[in-house]
Every structure is written in C-alpha cells, then in structure tokens.
A and B are shown apart, each in its own frame.
Chain A
C-alpha cells in the first residue's frame, strides 16, 4: 500500500511538466453541503469528471485555456474560463435554480447515472424525492422509498428490511456514513431508522458494486448524512402521526465547519398514557433516534468529519417484561488531499446492534436475555486521478467483530442459572484496487479486484457435527476449545468486479457488468418476515462464506423533447453458493449447537427490470416493472429440488408520480402491484395423541402463491404562505402533508396460515381445521403532518 502511494506521488510530479490538474470541491452555495456527483465538463475536449461522495473532483489536462461547465441537477450551471498553466484549485459553489423552477423539477437520478454514466444497476434517491413519495402514516422513509425502485421488493408490511434482486434481507449491506447498520427498522419493519431530516443522499447498488465495497452478496445501500449548513443556523422540524422531529444545523468555526443534530421520537405511549395503566409501572412503548454530524476544514487539504447515530425501540409491559433493540454507530473521517490528484479518506468506524428480551414476575422468577454484535473498522481509501482517462481507486478495510449470541440467565424460585453462550471474535479484512478508464469518449470500463480475508479467533469453542440424513438435526460429536488469540477457521476470496459502457448515440448506451461478492456474516432467520430478534452469526468451521456471482446487461435511452424521458432495461443473472436454510423445527435462539440446525445450498436469481422516468414538467414520476425469479436448492428441503425463495415475486410493478396543481398545492401518488409471495400449504392432516397436525404429503416447500398484492397511496402537500399579510416575505417556511395509505382499503394478504382455531375441543370430537388469511393492514390509513423550517 505504502509503495503504491509513493508511486502515485512520484508519478504525479514526473508528469507535472506538460500537464496540470484542476481539482477542488463543488458545494451548494446556500448551505455549503458538498454536492455528490456534480459534473465538471470540459467543452472543447468533450470530457469531464464527476465529484465523489465528498464533493471532490480532479481532472488533469494539457496546459492551455479551457471553457469549463460545472453543473448539478436543480442548480444553475456555472461556466468558467480557465487558463491552465499550473495546478489549479477550483472550489465552486452552485446556486439552486429559482424556487419556481425547483418545484417542478423532480429527479430521482442525476445526469451522470443515465445514458452517459458507466454505472448501472444503481439508483439514487435524493431526499427531496423521498419527502414527496406518499408514505405510510405520512412518515417519509428512506427504506420504504426504495421499494418504488425496480428490483427491490419486500415480503409485506411490517417486515424488516428489503430484498434486492433475489437477495435476502441479511444480504444487503446498509451503511450510514460508512458504518454498518445491522437492523434498519423501527417498530418491527414499519419504519426505517434513518431520519430524513439528517439524510443527504441515498444510493442503492443492486449490482456492479465497485471493488471498494464488500461483505454482503446482494446489494449496498449507501446512506450519506448531511453535513449541516455552514452559512446560517437552520431549524427543521415536523409533527406527524407517529413521530415528532426536530433538527438544528449551523456553522462552526466561523464557517470553516458545520454541524447538524437531528432527533425523532414516537409518541404513541404519551398519547396512550392516560388510558393504559401498564405504562405507569415501568412500562414503555416508544422508539427514537438521534443523528449528529460535525465537520471542520482544517485547511484546504484536510477536512475532518465526525458523525454518529443512536436509536432504540422499547416495548415494555412493565419493568420486568418486554423487549428492546437499537443500533449505535459512530464514524470519524479524515479527508486528505495529498496532492491535486491523490485524494484520500481515512475512516474509523464503530457500530453496534443489540437487543434484549426479558420476562418474569419478580426477582425470584425471571428470564433476561441480551444479544449484540459490534464492529470496529478502519478503512483507508484513495482515489488517484491519473489522467482524464483513468481514475484509480485503492484501499483497505479491517473489521474486527465481536458477537454476543446470548448473555442470558434465568432464575427459578430464587436459583439463578447462567445460560449464556460464549462470545465469538472475528476479523474481516480486505484490500482492493480498481480503475475507471475511458477507452474512448463513448466507451468506458471499470475493473477492480477485491481480496477479502476472514478469520475467527479464540477464546471460544468449535464443534464438529455428525453427518445425518439431510434435513435432520446434526448433533455435535466433537468439541474443541480455542484459546485466546488462536485462529479457528480462516477463509479468503478474490472478488473481481467489471463494468463496461458504450454509447450507441448521444441518447442511448449499452452497459454490462460482472460482480463477485463474498459474505462472511449471516443473518439467521427462518420466520416469514425478518424481525429484530434475528441473530447475526459469523462464518465458522461449519458455516462457509456465502458467494454470489452476478452478471447484468442493460440498455439505456433518453428520448422526448429536451430528453424529457429516461428509459432503461436491465437483465441480471445471479448465482449463489453456500446459501443458508434451516432444518424443520430449527432452534435458532440461544442454541449453542445452532450450526447443527443449518443447511446450505445453492441459489439462482434472474430477472429483467424496466424503468421509465419523466424528469421534467409539472407532471413527473416513474414506472418500474420487474419480472424475476429467485430459487434455492438445498439438500433436505423440497425433495432436494429447486424451490422459490420466500421473497420471490414474479411481477413487481410500481408507479410513482408527482403533480404540481398550483403554486402551493402538489399531489403525489403511488401504485404497487406485485405477485403474491410463495407459501407452503398442507395437503393433509393427521392425529397423534389428540393433536391435529398438518402435513404436506409431497414434502414441498413454497408450493403455493399468495394472492397478488396491490395498493394505491395518495398524498397532498400544501406549502405555507411565502408572504406575510403585510406583503413582506416570510423568513420561515412550512408545509402540510395530507396522506392516505391503501386508498381503496384492499385487504392484501401477508400470509395464509392453517389452524384449528381458538375453540377448545372435547377429547374424542373431530377437530376443526381451517385456512386463514391475514392482512397486516386491512384498511385505509389516513395521516397528516406539519413540517417547518426557520
């Protein structure tokens, strides 16, 4: 690594005679926020660069005069005439376009992601778009907004997380300012943990993931927090049906830095308190989160950022019974510009997810269980802007994990018994190197390699299990104690990445990509929907790393006057190995021999994603349609044949639209139509010891489809008056949002389950057996919220 940096430094000075570099940051003039993905375009050469996630760009050109355009959607383009006879630092602040115009331009993707960009299989949702999408109970939500994109699905309302291109919930890497978020949900899965007031940008990679990222095999959701306004103090807030929110941001160190703090809290408990006795006796029922970030420009070449998040869900009946879960993350980043062409970022990251569950009567009889996963990460990453045609990225990542599967004890009649399981310690590290290369003005490739290494460390135990009929519980036959510092299982993988783009014309392009990913942490969940009590467990001598190879091919085209429409179609095929499934009757919680209840198999997922967006005008929006199949094949399940994954959806249609009625009123609507997810139905029933047991005589898994799911949501937004009664402009701004979720009250099935019902049966009488369909939300849900800024 050091050698490489040195090489870059030497190289850049050697070249400096004939060529010079323009570099700098592009920011929003209103608040100093770095603009991610702004374009720096050199007219005469028909080439350019885009800013990275910190708003930095670098472009190296021969010495002469250039006309340069700096642009970003929703902002007025700035043109600069530059005589390049030395390395030049050019920091640019762009001004937002007039308010009138801004209101009618809605875009979910920016210029660089359409036809011209090398990137494919990515979707960027900017926070303005997220705020406009009609949301459940009126709470704008980062994760739920993703469901409007092609290739993204969920098993139903209330389920935690999301599924991308046939990946399970635990196969998505969710990063909040680079820190892993292990559970992205509040209130089971109804809301996500990200406070929209503090989010600047979200980007979902469904494939073609750059070599810089790894650790999950399905997707990467990169959530970047706002830096805070470095010009003026600003307070934003809102009162909604579920949450109240408030955030404060403003300058630090006379504008050399800025900060933002944002918090949300649900208040169902406060409203319920007068009516519910239980809450008075140590009971609690709420969820909250706080997000904060600060940054400081030490000088032109050094900048530091500190950001953190803490959030928690608390459901307690009384002081002895209940459960709670939460994430904590912290990130320290140092942006260093070594020279005009070598940009570096060093991140130190901490993340922890924990949950606890307890019940009992008193101190003599109770049960307490805590579980957690935490990691400390160091991640240096470098971008070296070799020349206009090559941007090299390289870096490393070291993650140290500790898993606490169960810190648990029970007390029976005063006897306290410890049922804790030993902690597990692991190291996941990676090196990567990639290059983004323009082969010609129309053709670019990106290639990279990531090398990942994973090891388990003592103290701990490892088990060897017997072989048995596939699908049955394997029992431990040998136990080995691992002493402190000793390694247990180690694995390593080479993960090549490749992307290709060529423009067929000014308005169309073809792209292709190949991505290999390895995953060393596994989310253990065999329930219908993922939930907060799911356990993360590391790769071990018994669990191999999950691997995925994904191939994608896409066609992108703009059309219409002023390229009003953007169209894309992508096909993907994803092959996975060492996919985890579970024996029937698996015991996943507080089980030292958990690994004996796991099965592994292979997976395949393929599909096509169509996307059509109207970007300009009073009426904007997009249609996303995905046709897909996701299957697994696991020895011991479904007669060892392929079966549809729980989250497989054949058809997935989403329509998202926005319409500006007049200066103050705007409307938006969502329509969702998706195929039902698979479910297992019985064929028969039988009796043992008076118990009525369902039975599938064909030994099938997921043999039936639930009915289709469809739903229409609407929302109306009313902007507050911009002028006072006396005609002066108001300093503050505010708006109301009125929403309706599930407008026509469709009772969409979440699951169909088989039961004998609640009635008591007399011994000797035949037992009832019936099928029941459950809709988590079976009615219209209206909402209203008020939001302000001053």
Chain B
C-alpha cells in the first residue's frame, strides 16, 4: 500500500547518489509439464458470460496460450438452477442469457463444475455487492521540476457501512482496459486491506485516483494521464475475499518495477487458486472462480472547464 511512496523516495534518493544497473538476461529455467488453467470470473452485467480453459506455457514462450477444448462446464446456484456453458471457440465456454436475464444475484452462492477428460474440477463463490459510482471528476496536478501539468481523474463511490466488502476496480481509457501490473486496483471496504475499518466512507484518495494511467513519452517524461477529448470508464466489481487475496498476490508477483524497489520485493511464489481437483491425487489446476456484482460509470474529459478541485 505504501509501496508507491517507498519506491519513489528511495529511487529519488538513490538515483541522486548511486548507480544501479538493470539488464535483461536469459537464464535457463527448469522444465515442467503444462497445467490446466480455469479462468472463470462471472458477473451480473448484461450479456453473455464466458469461462476460458487454457494451459500454462513455458515462462519465456511469448504467445497466447492455446485453449482446452471438449470440457463440460456448468455453474449451479444455491437453488440448484443450472447455468450451462457451451464451447463457442477453442477453450472458450459461454452461457448466453435468454432475453433480459442476467447471471447471478447478490448474496447467492455458486458452484463451478468443470470436467476435462476423466477429471473433475470444482469451486464455489458467493456474489458480494458493489457500490454505485456517483461521479467521476477531473483535477489538475500542476507541473513542476520533474513533470508537466498532469490532468487526473478520480471516481467517487461510498463503501457501505457494514464491513467485509472487497472489490476489483477496473479502468478503461478510451475503451481500452488498463492492464499494467500496477493497474490492478483492489479495495477492501474503502481502504487497502482487511481490518482497515474504512466503512461508510468514500474510497480513500489513493484508490479514488488509482484510475490514472502513468506512461512515459520517448524522453522518459511522464505523460498526462488524461487530456481533453479522452474518456474514462470505471467499473467496480465485487470479489470474494479469496479473490481479493488472489488479486493482491498476483500484483505482488507481477508488479516488479526493478531498481531499488527490489530491496523491498518478496521472492517469487505461486499465487493461490480456489479451484480443486475432486481427486486430490489428480493433476494440478490453476486459475480462479469468482462471481461478482458490477457497477460502472464513464465520463468524457470535454474541456478544461471540467476540472474541479482535488
């Protein structure tokens, strides 16, 4: 949570007096068999729901993973209503609603059933709630010695009074999802982690403003996250506590800025999965099953008149 500040102060300090060196290398990695990956994140938005089955690849294989075909997949709710998922493309399994039907209800528990060959994989998740996004505002971070004027956005939503809500906050800039490792934004209630007791308040500032993409131009200068004409869409998706932990573990593993941040990094570890093989001695499985409610709001940055206070 405090990572940003630590990294930045350390890097600032360090770069002023020291010279670190960071290069790409090509180490030999241990060989291993591929493992089934079940990517099952379902939500109550309008439209079809998809589950993807793939296999893990060698770490340095820079290609899209191939799909796993021929599986039998369905999801069952606590009233034994069955949602069948049929294969529409290799490895892509889809449930298509009839009419205005949506998948899932807040508070309901869902069971995942995946059969691949002779093996069966199961999981379970309960759909949490997501607060509505009231507004999105833009503000100006005036430029200084290290960067030019930065136009930033923040979203306003208030976490419910009762504790133990967890969320994944996704941002789309001009329709494209922000997917950099440091753009995996999670919240526990209105704060960063469990036990923070941020309840019944707007999401805290670092979360409200986490929807800003920071990219550098060719000269290494930070570009303004948004400029006039850009649009931003924010989606809050409720996640189970297990999924919240999963997302945080993923971020720890993949958000590696290098440099002096490595002094604060933990060693590589496998992230958890909530999917199990019904045969404990059977093959491994990776991936995650979550059912979530979603809310969303978009806004276009039309002109500088849209700016308001931080």
* Distance between B183 CB and nearest chain A CB, rounded to angstroms: 9
Instruction: Tell me whether A211 is interfacial, beta carbon within 8 Å.
Output: no
Instruction: Tell me whether A773 is interfacial, beta carbon within 8 Å.
Output: yes
Interface centre among B33, B63, B202, B253 (most CB of A within 10 A): B253
- The answer on a CB contact under 8 Å between B59 and A690 is no
Instruction: Tell me whether A768 is interfacial, beta carbon within 8 Å.
Output: yes
Given A359-B4, A681-B29, A417 and B196 contact (CB-CB distance below 8 Å): yes
Within 8 A of A (CB), among B100-151: 144-145
Within 8 A of A (CB), among B231-288: 245, 248-250, 252-254, 256, 258-260, 262-272, 284, 286-288
Instruction: Tell me whether B25 is interfacial, beta carbon within 8 Å.
Output: yes
* Distance between A368 CB and nearest chain B CB, rounded to angstroms: 11
* Distance between A260 CB and nearest chain B CB, rounded to angstroms: 29
- The answer on a CB contact under 8 Å between B25 and A690 is no
Instruction: Tell me whether B302 is interfacial, beta carbon within 8 Å.
Output: no
Q: Please give, as numbers and ranges, the residues of chain A lying within 8 Å of B33 by CB-CB distance.
A: 697
* Distance between B138 CB and nearest chain A CB, rounded to angstroms: 15
Stretch of B12-20, B73-81, B82-90, B293-301 on the interface side = B12-20
Instruction: Tell me whether A127 is interfacial, beta carbon within 8 Å.
Output: no
- The answer on a CB contact under 8 Å between B22 and A775 is yes
- The answer on a CB contact under 8 Å between B201 and A357 is no
- The answer on a CB contact under 8 Å between B260 and A369 is no
* Distance between A682 CB and nearest chain B CB, rounded to angstroms: 5
Q: Please give, as numbers and ranges, the residues of chain A lying within 8 Å of B205 by CB-CB distance.
A: 360-361, 365-366, 412-413
Instruction: Tell me whether A108 is interfacial, beta carbon within 8 Å.
Output: no
One of A412, A688, A772 near B24 (C-beta < 8 A): A772
- The answer on a CB contact under 8 Å between A410 and B198 is yes
- The answer on a CB contact under 8 Å between B195 and A685 is no
> What is the bound-complex CA distance between A590 and B284, given in angstroms?
34
* Distance between A581 CB and nearest chain B CB, rounded to angstroms: 11
* Distance between A323 CB and nearest chain B CB, rounded to angstroms: 7
- The answer on a CB contact under 8 Å between B264 and A527 is yes
Instruction: Tell me whether B179 is interfacial, beta carbon within 8 Å.
Output: yes
One of B62, B144, B177, B201 near A690 (C-beta < 8 A): B177
> What is the bound-complex CA distance between A776 and B245, given in angstroms?
31
> Mind listing 22 A-B residue pairs with CB under 8 Å?
A158-B263, A277-B144, A317-B8, A412-B198, A419-B197, A526-B267, A527-B265, A528-B262, A680-B268, A682-B268, A683-B59, A687-B65, A698-B30, A699-B270, A752-B25, A753-B256, A753-B258, A755-B181, A758-B216, A760-B179, A766-B63, A774-B20
Interface centre among A268, A587, A763 (most CB of B within 10 A): A587
> What is the bound-complex CA distance between A741 and B185, given in angstroms?
42
- The answer on a CB contact under 8 Å between B5 and A695 is no
Given A412-B198, A772-B258, A777-B19, A359 and B2 contact (CB-CB distance below 8 Å): yes
Shortest Cβ distance from B290 into A: residue: A689
> What is the bound-complex CA distance between A747 and B19, given in angstroms?
10
12 more A-B contacts (CB under 8 A) besides A415-B201, A472-B272? A362-B310, A412-B202, A412-B204, A419-B195, A526-B267, A686-B286, A688-B250, A696-B269, A747-B23, A762-B176, A763-B176, A777-B18
> What is the bound-complex CA distance between A391 and B166, given in angstroms?
64
- The answer on a CB contact under 8 Å between B30 and A703 is yes
Q: Please give, as numbers and ranges, the residues of chain B lying within 8 Å of A687 by CB-CB distance.
A: 37, 39, 54, 64-65
Interface centre among B5, B12, B144, B194 (most CB of A within 10 A): B5
Q: What is the predominant secondary structure among interface residues of chain A facing chain B?
A: loop
Within 8 A of B (CB), among A732-790: 747, 750-756, 758, 760-764, 766-779, 781
Instruction: Tell me whether B203 is interfacial, beta carbon within 8 Å.
Output: yes
- The answer on a CB contact under 8 Å between A689 and B39 is yes
Q: Please give, as numbers and ranges, the residues of chain A lying within 8 Å of B5 by CB-CB distance.
A: 317, 321-323, 357, 359
- The answer on a CB contact under 8 Å between A585 and B272 is yes
- The answer on a CB contact under 8 Å between B19 and A690 is no
> What is the bound-complex CA distance between A475 and B263, given in angstroms?
29
Q: Mark B40-82, 1 if CB is under 8 A from A, else 0.
A: 0100000000000011111111111100000000000000000
- The answer on a CB contact under 8 Å between B39 and A587 is no
> What is the bound-complex CA distance between A278 and B61, given in angstroms?
44
* Distance between A328 CB and nearest chain B CB, rounded to angstroms: 23
- The answer on a CB contact under 8 Å between A691 and B22 is no
- The answer on a CB contact under 8 Å between A778 and B65 is no
- The answer on a CB contact under 8 Å between B2 and A369 is yes
Instruction: Tell me whether B303 is interfacial, beta carbon within 8 Å.
Output: no
Given A323-B5, A693-B254, A697-B33, A681 and B264 contact (CB-CB distance below 8 Å): no
Instruction: Tell me whether B35 is interfacial, beta carbon within 8 Å.
Output: yes
Q: Please give, as numbers and ranges, the residues of chain A lying within 8 Å of B32 by CB-CB distance.
A: 683-684, 697-698
Q: Please give, as numbers and ranges, the residues of chain B lying within 8 Å of A777 by CB-CB distance.
A: 18-20
> What is the bound-complex CA distance between A187 and B8, given in angstroms?
14
- The answer on a CB contact under 8 Å between B54 and A681 is no
* Distance between A758 CB and nearest chain B CB, rounded to angstroms: 8
- The answer on a CB contact under 8 Å between B267 and A593 is no
- The answer on a CB contact under 8 Å between B196 and A761 is no
Instruction: Tell me whether A337 is interfacial, beta carbon within 8 Å.
Output: no
> What is the bound-complex CA distance between A766 and B61, given in angstroms?
9
* Distance between A705 CB and nearest chain B CB, rounded to angstroms: 10
- The answer on a CB contact under 8 Å between B267 and A528 is yes
Q: Please give, as numbers and ranges, the residues of chain B lying within 8 Å of A704 by CB-CB distance.
A: 27
Q: Please give, as numbers and ranges, the residues of chain B lying within 8 Å of A106 by CB-CB distance.
A: none
Residues of B with Cβ closer than 8 Å to A?
1-2, 4-6, 8-10, 12-13, 16-27, 29-35, 37, 39, 41, 54-65, 144-145, 176-177, 179-181, 184, 190-191, 193-198, 201-206, 213, 215-216, 245, 248-250, 252-254, 256, 258-260, 262-272, 284, 286-288, 310
Given A418-B197, A771-B27, A585 and B9 contact (CB-CB distance below 8 Å): no
Instruction: Tell me whether A517 is interfacial, beta carbon within 8 Å.
Output: no
* Distance between A138 CB and nearest chain B CB, rounded to angstroms: 13
> What is the bound-complex CA distance between A317 and B146, given in angstroms?
12
Instruction: Tell me whether A531 is interfacial, beta carbon within 8 Å.
Output: yes
* Distance between B62 CB and nearest chain A CB, rounded to angstroms: 5
- The answer on a CB contact under 8 Å between A774 and B39 is no
* Distance between A607 CB and nearest chain B CB, rounded to angstroms: 23
> What is the bound-complex CA distance between A417 and B206, given in angstroms?
15
Q: Please give, as numbers and ranges, the residues of chain A lying within 8 Å of B270 by CB-CB distance.
A: 584, 695-696, 699
- The answer on a CB contact under 8 Å between A681 and B27 is yes
Shortest Cβ distance from A421 into B: residue: B195
- The answer on a CB contact under 8 Å between A268 and B249 is no
> What is the bound-complex CA distance between A195 and B232, given in angstroms?
54
One of A188, A369, A472 near B10 (C-beta < 8 A): A188
- The answer on a CB contact under 8 Å between A531 and B193 is no
Q: Please give, as numbers and ranges, the residues of chain B lying within 8 Å of A478 by CB-CB distance.
A: none
One of B56, B62, B145, B262 near A751 (C-beta < 8 A): B262
- The answer on a CB contact under 8 Å between A695 and B263 is no
Given A412-B203, A773-B22, A361 and B10 contact (CB-CB distance below 8 Å): no
One of B31, B58, B176, B190 near A412 (C-beta < 8 A): B190
Shortest Cβ distance from A275 into B: residue: B145
One of B26, B31, B195, B269 near A593 (C-beta < 8 A): B195
- The answer on a CB contact under 8 Å between A694 and B25 is no
- The answer on a CB contact under 8 Å between A695 and B24 is no
One of B35, B58, B195, B264 near A592 (C-beta < 8 A): B195
Instruction: Tell me whether A702 is interfacial, beta carbon within 8 Å.
Output: yes
* Distance between B135 CB and nearest chain A CB, rounded to angstroms: 13
One of A361, A702, A769 near B60 (C-beta < 8 A): A769
- The answer on a CB contact under 8 Å between A760 and B2 is no
- The answer on a CB contact under 8 Å between A691 and B263 is no
Given A276-B145, A362-B310, A528 and B263 contact (CB-CB distance below 8 Å): yes
> What is the bound-complex CA distance between A762 and B194, given in angstroms?
32
Instruction: Tell me whether A290 is interfacial, beta carbon within 8 Å.
Output: no
- The answer on a CB contact under 8 Å between A268 and B16 is yes
Shortest Cβ distance from B216 into A: residue: A758
Shortest Cβ distance from A412 into B: residue: B204
- The answer on a CB contact under 8 Å between A688 and B39 is yes
Q: Please give, as numbers and ranges, the residues of chain B lying within 8 Å of A272 by CB-CB distance.
A: 16
Given A158-B260, A585-B252, A754-B256, A417 and B20 contact (CB-CB distance below 8 Å): no
Instruction: Tell me whether A633 is interfacial, beta carbon within 8 Å.
Output: no
- The answer on a CB contact under 8 Å between A585 and B249 is yes
Instruction: Tell me whether A646 is interfacial, beta carbon within 8 Å.
Output: yes
